A and B are shown apart, each in its own frame.
Chain A
Amino acid sequence: MIIKTLKFLPFPIILALVPLFLPEGRTGAYYQTLLILTVSYATAALGLTVLLGYSGQISLAQAAFFGIGAYVFSVLAVTYNISYWLSIVASLTVTSAFGFFLGAISLRLASHYLALVTIGFQIITQVVLNNWRGFSGGADGISNIPRPALPGIGALTDLTFYWFALIVFCIAAYIVYRLRNSRLGWALLALREDEIAAASNGISVFWTKVLAFAVSAALGGLGGILYASGSLYISPDVFNFYQSVSFFAMTLVGGRESIIGTSLGAGLITFLPEVLRFLHAYTIAIYGFLIVVVVLFLPDGLYSLVLRGAASLNRQLRKATVEDPLHAKPSLVTSAPVRPVATAEPLLEIKSLSKHFGGIKAVQDLDLTICKGDVAVLIGPNGSGKTTVLNVLSGIYSTTSGAITYRGQDISNLPPNTINRLGICRTFQNIRLFPELTALENVAVGYYSKGTVGLVGTLLSRPLGYREEEVARRKAQEILHFLGFDRLDVKAKNLPYGQQRIVEIARAIVSSPDLLLLDEPAAGMNHEETAALSQILYRIHALGLTMLLIEHDMSFVSSVATRAYVMDFGQKISEGSVAHVLRDPAVVKAYLGDDIAYA
């Protein structure tokens, strides 16, 4: 991990050398303070990289955390004379606590509410900083803010403080980089891409978002500390709503998902007014305009342009032959594996389950038992309620009435992430992969529930964290190879349909669940792909997994299933072996319609 990051080394080195090229005298000193400003802004903007870029949440309160960090630090260090480092720790604790609190109360809401609540928080903070004179000194602000005294260097000048700030920034950037590539980071990205799929893979939507909020707030606070210590003086007018918008702009304009992009954005937006000085009155209007244009027409930010340019240059230099992705075929072992025999021990029992939507009774009084080792299939005409059953089983819908017992435990109305942790995994009818994650990362997310290292462990780079990620990665790789898939580093959205299905199945089985729920795995596949899929299901069954699948393709069903249940109008109309139910007149009638003539 650390060695991998070394390739980024040129960036801080260049940044560290910048002040040496500044002109002498007043102009140089002015630019020196701007550089410090940029670094502190960039640190705060990194918070938004985590929150907006990774977890996809909106916060327009970053300036509030920036301010809280700056003020708590300054008050402790100046008014109470507490040591520099202790003040930093205390300040970071307070800001992340605020972030945690704000996240916890507002994340139950949809994202638009969240944005508004953060604005509210921003305004409250502003008003409090302006008026709580006893704490903040009111409009007068706080002066004589210290800089750290480092052994052997003494009090820091603008130049040395810039270097100090740069080091702090690099540490923050490393932590963010580390977070992005950790188990938690995968979870964040998964959440951003698809909350339902994330929850179905064992990720607690709520708490993971709250953590992102706390980390983001702490980074905002850290930026604030650098700001306060760098400018030696703070007053409330810096920490207003517009500064929040400005942080937002930095992250977006540069590239919200990229650390380098965000830093680039921070530099650009801090120095832009200097460049545009001749347009003075129009500067802010141009800001606004830039945001609109970049967001609507360049959603990945300016840095994505740089990357694209570099990539095309690289291609031209190497003239690399691009492999045709459609021809990378999964290589499957064709020898039939030994399949376990179904036992009589019930794994999952559904008792008189009903689920109604308004006036529509999607599922009505359904009884169903799945025994250990079964490959049960749920069939029935369109709209007969099969998918609803699966959604209720996996916790996405609540039940209207009835009980679901899994290994003797009532699991009805548990949240999807809890059900996942109990060993029930699923795939979706319309494939819910995380489109921006690679195939390998998608499957590694499936292993989330097996990990143990949380936020603190990740941030402190606890070695166990690396090991767990290694395990998750290796498991993911094994499972994908097991299913005959080898395009590990292709983003899910770029995979052809059939392969997306395979990756989704891999994601569902990587954590070795006991029960696998598959919603129309063969939908949209041609004969060859369907045949390959039944091979795959044989092999999964041979691993000892019990399965419940929904399917329409009867030849596929009769080749894989050990037991069939037929639904019509939300009720079970037949059960038994596949051959048996297909001969059942009630089933034929449900599928093909009444054979009786009508007048």
Chain B
Amino acid sequence: MLKVRNIQANYGAVRALHDISLDVMPGEIIVLLGVNGAGKSTTLKTISGLLHPARGNITFQDQPIDRLSPEQVVRMGIAHVPEGRHVFPGLTVRENLIMGTSNRRVTRRETEQDIERVLDIFPDLKRLYTQMGWSLSGGQQQMLAIGRGLMARPKLLMLDEPSLGLAPVIVKQVFRTIEDLNRQGMTILLVEQNVNLSLRIAHRAYLLETGRIIRADSSANLLQDSSFKSALLGASYGVG
């Protein structure tokens, strides 16, 4: 579905990605793991068009997308829920959700139906429906951000650290939702720090280090491998 081939990307003068290649098949949950600064978020930004690769190419459903702007990429059916949630602080929950439909022409009825659907997934948002984005707690903002991403009716949903700054109970809830979405057929590309949980729901995982992919394997294999986890902690000590 999504093919990333040998991309290289720079942040100003800094080379953030050296050589990244990855594949996402329809119906999969793929997780990108790695320590801070490994290039996980940059990879997502390059796919969604916020950054353009200096070298390499990206295709989505066999169409090249590496030269497209984010506005065009989301029209192709890739929704990117950015790190740190980025809900629009001055818009209400409802308005934030409606913004999610900006990638296509929709009738009022479609919009209302989609909102219904998102509210079914995140019932908590119902109660906050008319509150401003800034007044929401971190977990509520995260649900809103994912819901807003779903409003685009994406074929591929990219989530950048959805567990960031959330309490463990909420994290579980978010992950359960991700799994549910996947069961309903959504393809998901996930960036996470929460290794255990994300490996539990993902089919496959890529491990990144300083802009390169150093390991690609099935989650089942990685879960067994304790040296892998300590590598993620970056410590020479064993963990746990």
Contacts and interface: CB of A to CB of B under 8 A. Distances in A.
User: A and B touching (C-beta < 8 Å)?
Assistant: yes
Interface in B189-204: 193-198, 200
Given A593-B197, A594-B172, A552 B135 contact: no
Given A497-B14, A523-B37, A588 B234 contact: no
A360 to B, nearest CB: 6
Nearest to B36: A552
B193 A558 contact: no
Contacts of B240: 583, 585, 588, 595
B239 A588 contact: yes
A384 B165 contact: yes
Contacts of A556: 234
B163 interface: yes
A597 B200 contact: yes
Given A359-B136, A524-B14, A555-B235, A593 B164 contact: no
Contacts of A591: 193, 233
A595 B196 contact: yes
Interface string A540-570: 0000000000001111101000000000010
Given A359-B135, A497-B14, A593-B195, A524 B239 contact: no
Given A360-B137, A383-B165, A582 B239 contact: yes
A360 B194 contact: no
Nearest to A382: B164
A182 to B, nearest CB: 30
Contacts of B137: 359-360
Nearest to B239: A588
A61 to B, nearest CB: 34
A552 B232 CA distance: 10
Nearest to B167: A569
Contacts of B165: 360, 382-384, 569
Interface string B144-174: 0000000000000000010111011001100
A496 B13 contact: yes
B234 A555 contact: yes
B232 A592 contact: yes
Contact of A553 (B13, B35, B161, B229): B35
A382 B162 CA distance: 11
A558 to B, nearest CB: 6
Interface residues of A, number: 33
A497 B35 contact: no
Interface string B218-240: 00000000000100111111011
B194 to A, nearest CB: 3
B198 to A, nearest CB: 7
B134 to A, nearest CB: 5
B232 to A, nearest CB: 7
A211 B204 CA distance: 61
Interface in A363-397: 381-384
B227 to A, nearest CB: 14
A526 interface: yes
A358 B229 contact: no
Contacts, number: 94
Contacts of A360: 137-138, 165
B135 to A, nearest CB: 5
Contact of A593 (B13, B36, B194, B233): B194
Contacts of B171: 593-594
B6 interface: no
Contacts of A359: 134-138, 140
B234 A497 contact: no
B57 interface: no
Contacts of A313: none
B235 A558 contact: yes
B233 A594 contact: no
Interface string A241-271: 0000000000000000000000000000000
Interface of B: 13-14, 35-37, 84, 89, 134-138, 140, 161, 163-165, 167-168, 171-172, 175-176, 193-198, 200, 210, 229, 232-237, 239-240
Nearest to A497: B14
Among A384, A497, A598, max chain B CB count under 10 A is at A598
Given A382-B193, A588-B239, A594-B171, 5 more contacts: A359-B136, A497-B13, A554-B234, A583-B237, A583-B240
Contacts of B200: 597-598
A558 B14 contact: no
B234 A553 contact: yes
B196 A593 contact: yes
A238 interface: no
A579 interface: yes
A592 B237 contact: no
A554 B233 contact: yes
Nearest to B173: A598
A588 B238 CA distance: 11
Contacts of B35: 552-553
Contact of A592 (B13, B134, B233): B233
A582 to B, nearest CB: 6
Among B210, B236, B239, max chain A CB count under 10 A is at B239
Contacts of B236: 555, 558
18 contacts: A358-B89, A358-B134, A381-B164, A381-B193, A383-B138, A383-B161, A383-B164, A497-B13, A520-B36, A552-B35, A552-B234, A554-B235, A569-B165, A569-B167, A583-B240, A589-B168, A594-B171, A598-B176
Contact of A582 (B172, B195, B235): B235
Contact of B161 (A382, A569, A594): A382
A350 B66 CA distance: 48
A555 B230 CA distance: 11
Nearest to B16: A524
A595 B196 CA distance: 6
A261 B36 CA distance: 45
Among B37, B137, B167, B175, max chain A CB count under 10 A is at B37
Interface string A510-538: 00000000001001101000000000000
Contacts of B172: 594, 598
Interface in A135-171: none
Contacts of A496: 13
B165 to A, nearest CB: 3
Contact of A524 (B37, B84, B196, B198): B37
B89 to A, nearest CB: 8
Nearest to A593: B194
A439 to B, nearest CB: 15
Contacts of A594: 168, 171-172, 196-197
A390 to B, nearest CB: 16
Nearest to A526: B210
Contacts of A593: 163, 171, 193-198
B143 to A, nearest CB: 13
Nearest to A385: B165
Contacts of B237: 558, 579, 582-583
